[in-house]
């Protein structure tokens, strides 16, 4: 528990550095592109269009999901997925990528995954704005359920931080892990509920219940509950407890490994 407190305290103590370095990382990634930071929106927008053509118009023939247009249902899911996917892979490689900086400067290495997670918010929030505009354009009005967006956003950041810290540490210790993680994340795309509605997929109920244990599924489904006014998070008490249990376990493992090996990170490269 002491290791968890230390790591979390480092995030809040160095919040200024995290914000500055995340802005620098945004500019550095796109400085050689003509459209610059606009690609943070254009790239996911193009992918959303491709997914809609394939899964919406092609496979589903523009059928609705319940009484919700498929484009709205899908857009909520893939917006969260794009951010999750980019943050998981970026955070896992964040310490290895900045190892030269780590060896020259003294600062808590635990903030490097957080810097990547914060940096990706610059593309996530505009996509959320597009989601809201799309939802409203289809005549779906805001309700009191929308306030729980704050809760699910906290869930999103908490999961990414706990998982990112663990992945970043393992990537230093076992370099092949990052490649393995890329393959697993591709699989997670199809079992996270981002584009597949498992409730009407014909799968047995027990299989759907197992898929719901996936923390990414919990977050995506939660954002749909929020924007589509389907229910409160406390109405899914079992899955909520499972989600936070997984996050806590990831945080324990990540904090312990990080604190144990971070003084030797340079030696492992």
Across 33-42, 125-134, 216-225, 246-255, least confident range: 33-42
Is the pLDDT reported for residue 207 higher than 90? no
- Position with higher pLDDT, 26 vs 24: 24
Please give the angle made by the CA atoms of 222, 227 and 228, to the nearest 5 degrees: 95
Read off the pLDDT of residues 233-242 as tens digits, 9 standing for 90 and up.
988 899 999 9
Q: How many residues does the chain have?
A: 269
pLDDT digits 0-9 by tens, 89-127: 988 888 887 776 666 667 788 888 999 999 888 888 888
pLDDT tens digits, 141-160 = 889 999 999 999 999 999 99
Please state the rounded mean pLDDT for residues 71-95: 88
Close Cβ partners of 34 (under 8 Å, ≥ 6 residues apart): none
**pLDDT, position 249:** 95
| pLDDT value, residue 126 | 84
Percent of the chain with pLDDT over 90: 27
Distance CA 156, CA 142 (A): 21
Q: Which domain holds residue 201?
A: 2-268
Longest dimension (CA), the chain: 58
CA atoms within 13 Å, Cβ hemisphere of 133: 6
Could you tell me the two tokens for 137?
A: 């354009």
**With 60 as the cut, is the pLDDT of residue 35 above it?**
no
> pTM score, two decimals?
0.87
Q: Of 134, 26, 159, 139, whose CA–CA distance to 81 is shortest?
A: 159
pLDDT recorded at residue 61? 46
pLDDT beyond 60 at 60: no
pLDDT at 257 over 80: yes
Q: Which two tokens stand for residue 162?
A: 């706990």
pLDDT tens readout for residues 164-202: 999 998 988 887 888 889 888 888 888 888 777 777 766
269 and 113 in contact (C-beta within 8 Å)?
no
Query: HSE on the CB side for 134, CA within 13 Å?
Result: 20
Nearby residues of 121 by Cβ (< 8 Å), 6 or more positions away = 22, 83
How far CA 139 is from CA of 57, 73, 133, 169, in Å, comes to 21, 14, 10, 46
Per the model's pLDDT, the better-predicted residue between 127 and 27 turns out to be 127
As for how many domains the chain has, the answer is: 1
């Amino acid at each position: 528990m002491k290791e968890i407190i230390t790591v979390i305290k480092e995030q809040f103590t160095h919040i200024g550095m995290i914000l500055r370095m995340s802005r620098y990382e945004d500019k550095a990634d796109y400085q050689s592109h003509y459209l610059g930071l606009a690609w943070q929106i254009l790239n996911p927008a193009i992918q959303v269009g491709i997914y809609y053509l394939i899964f919406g118009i092609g496979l589903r023939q523009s059928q609705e999901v319940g009484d919700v247009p498929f484009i709205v249902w899908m857009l909520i899911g893939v917006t969260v997925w794009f951010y999750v996917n980019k943050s998981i892979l970026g955070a896992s490689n964040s310490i290895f990528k900045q190892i030269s900086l780590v060896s020259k400067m003294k600062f808590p290495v635990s903030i490097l995954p957080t810097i990547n997670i914060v940096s990706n918010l610059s593309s996530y929030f505009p996509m959320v704005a597009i989601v809201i505009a799309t939802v409203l354009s289809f005549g779906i009005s805001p309700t009191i359920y929308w306030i729980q967006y704050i809760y699910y956003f906290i869930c999103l950041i908490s999961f990414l931080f706990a998982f990112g810290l663990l992945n970043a540490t393992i990537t230093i210790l076992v370099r092949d892990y990052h490649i393995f993680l890329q393959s697993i994340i591709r699989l997670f795309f199809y079992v996270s509920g981002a584009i597949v509605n498992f409730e009407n997929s014909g799968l047995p109920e027990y299989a759907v219940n197992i898929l719901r244990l996936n923390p990414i599924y919990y977050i995506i489904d939660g954002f749909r509950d929020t924007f589509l006014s389907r229910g409160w998070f406390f109405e899914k008490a079992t899955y909520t407890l499972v989600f936070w249990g997984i996050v806590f376990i990831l945080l324990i493992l990540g904090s312990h490994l990080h604190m144990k090996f971070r003084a030797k990170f340079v030696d492992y490269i």
